[in-house]
Amino acid sequence: GGADRRSLILGMDWPELKACVAHCTDCKLAKTRTQTVFGVGDESADWLFVGEGPGAEEDARGEPFVGQAGRLLDNMLAAIKLKRGENVYIANVVKCRPPGNRNPEAEEMERCEPYLERQIELIRPRLIVALGRVAAQSLLKTNATIANLRCKVHRYRGTPLIVTYHPAYLLRNLPDKAKAWEDLVFAVETMKRLTA
Ligand code: URA
């Protein structure tokens, strides 16, 4: 059952977890994906950025945030002097691309949840940054909006978590970039407090 599956996953080391995700067929996204997108970066990073799920380019390349939204994410990281892979890990709530980039369904997120949970246990980041509504709501088990969740320090199973807009959303809503900038400043301040 679900509880047995979860405790199995939560007992895995990195190689076991990567192999398990790579071969996963536990939801219907397995039928339409090209490949799974596990996550990338420093496996002992202080910073963990979590998106929603792979898009077309991520599905083709097997790496998160490598398309247009990914370029914006890299620029957001650069704005706070961070670099992909250097003290940063990037992952998604679901490891397989939802067809046509639809939002992942509740059941798909539920099946995928132990994978991200185990990634977080293994990385032990100081701060999680949830990118966009789907990641924020899934990690925090809430229906609240980004507008209501941003600028606050939440917790995911004990780990401090903050929320900001998804880079793909920002590309369609340029005026909200100013708020995302405030969120990045808040993220840096929060990290400073956590490491002080
Ligand atoms: N959007 C996401 O949420 N994740 C990716 O990896 C790419 C685009």
- Going from the first residue of the chain to its last (196 residues), give the mean pLDDT of each consecutive group of 10, the final group possibly shorter: 93 98 98 98 98 98 98 98 97 98 97 98 98 98 98 98 98 97 98 96
- To test the pocket of ligand 1, the residue of 35, 52, 103, 163 to mutate (highest count of ligand atoms within 8 Å of its CB) is 52
Indicate if ipTM > 0.90: yes
Q: What is the DSSP string of 124-161?
A: --SEEEEEHHHHHHHHHT----HHHHTTS-EEETTEEE
Return the C-alpha torsion angle 111, 114, 119, 121, nearest 10.
170
59 CB within 6 A, ligand 1? no
- 31-56: buried (b, 16+ CB within 10 Å) or exposed (e) per residue? eebeebbbbbbbeebbbbbbbbbbbe
Which residue's structure tokens are 């900001």? 164
Q: What is the pLDDT of residue 138?
A: 98
CATH code given to domain 2-195: 3.40.470.10
